[in-house]
């Protein structure tokens, strides 16, 4: 399997505003304990993009996980946005559409995309504000999300849902604007061929790391440094050695960076049985779902 020297995890946020306390970035290098990048800093999405661009320029052998969806469901209906003439046929053109409609939104937000007359039909925007083409129930799911639910590996929600603490739609849309800028500069697995050297992006789900570290489903958030160190040890990582409390965003990033290092040499995460070239081009896949 491909070797990496560094493992980064980005806990992401799609909330409005320039700086987000919900964003955290951690890196595990070699066999050392994972460490936060700029601990205590309140990140902006633009700063994360700058950091990623620097990783691309450096050519570092780094596996970089981001905690948002790279695409919407496609396989179930043969389209991201049925009944919309401009619905794109693949992931890269999805990112381009989001960027084109949201280009005037500050801080990589995507409110203008969501207010578009055709786009808004597909989303649950709020209680009592549901698009007429929103699928109902949990909303449309990608193949990877159906698979992770069926195998009980995870229970992610539809990114067509914009309501509630667990919603990931806004984060995914803001993330797509970054992926649009990084296309051709940092390969994204499984969309792009895996290069022999340099950085690679993968979609992650931080709850997978928590479960691998022994945390029970539904109680995967760590806010205590002693609990974080115990979870890191389960993953074969040196502890961070801090004391006191820690934000769950920071602990998610730290734990997931160590988890990426722990599983990267396994074949299974790189070759999940349901993954096809068509899925790779349209829906993508969450690294670690097998």
Q: Enter the pTM of the model.
A: 0.96
Of 4 and 136, the one with more pLDDT: 4
Domain extent listing, the chain:
6-69+185-270, 91-181
pLDDT at 165 over 80: no
At 80-135, the pLDDT tens digits run 999 999 999 999 999 999 999 999 999 999 999 999 999 999 999 998 899 999 99
Q: What pLDDT score was predicted for residue 114?
A: 98
Cβ 6 vs Cβ 29: under 8 Å = yes
């Amino acid at each position: 399997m491909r070797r990496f020297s560094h493992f980064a995890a980005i806990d992401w946020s799609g909330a409005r505003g320039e700086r987000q306390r919900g964003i955290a970035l951690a890196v595990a290098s070699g066999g050392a304990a994972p460490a936060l990048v700029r601990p205590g800093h309140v990140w902006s999405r633009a700063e994360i993009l700058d950091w990623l661009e620097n990783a691309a320029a450096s050519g570092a052998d780094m596996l970089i996980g981001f905690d948002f969806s790279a695409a919407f469901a496609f396989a179930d209906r043969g389209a991201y946005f049925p009944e919309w003439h401009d619905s794109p046929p693949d992931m890269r053109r999805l990112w381009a559409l989001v960027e084109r409609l949201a280009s005037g939104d500050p801080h990589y937000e995507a409110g203008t995309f969501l207010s578009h007359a055709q786009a808004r039909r597909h989303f649950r925007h709020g209680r009592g504000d549901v698009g007429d083409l929103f699928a109902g129930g949990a909303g449309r799911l990608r193949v990877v999300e159906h698979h992770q639910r069926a195998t009980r590996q995870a229970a992610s929600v539809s990114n067509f849902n914009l309501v509630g603490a667990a919603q990931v739609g806004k984060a995914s849309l803001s993330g797509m604007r970054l992926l649009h800028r990084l296309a051709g500069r940092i390969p994204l697995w499984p969309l792009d061929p895996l290069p022999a050297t340099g950085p690679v992006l993968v979609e992650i789900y931080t709850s997978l790391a928590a479960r691998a570290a022994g945390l029970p489903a539904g109680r995967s958030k760590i806010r205590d440094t002693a609990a974080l160190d115990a979870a890191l040890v389960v993953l074969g990582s040196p502890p961070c050695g801090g004391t006191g409390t820690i934000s769950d965003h920071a602990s998610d990033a730290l734990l997931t960076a160590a988890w990426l290092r722990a599983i990267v040499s396994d074949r299974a995460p790189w070759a999940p049985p349901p993954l096809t070239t068509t899925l790779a081009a349209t829906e993508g896949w969450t690294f670690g779902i097998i």
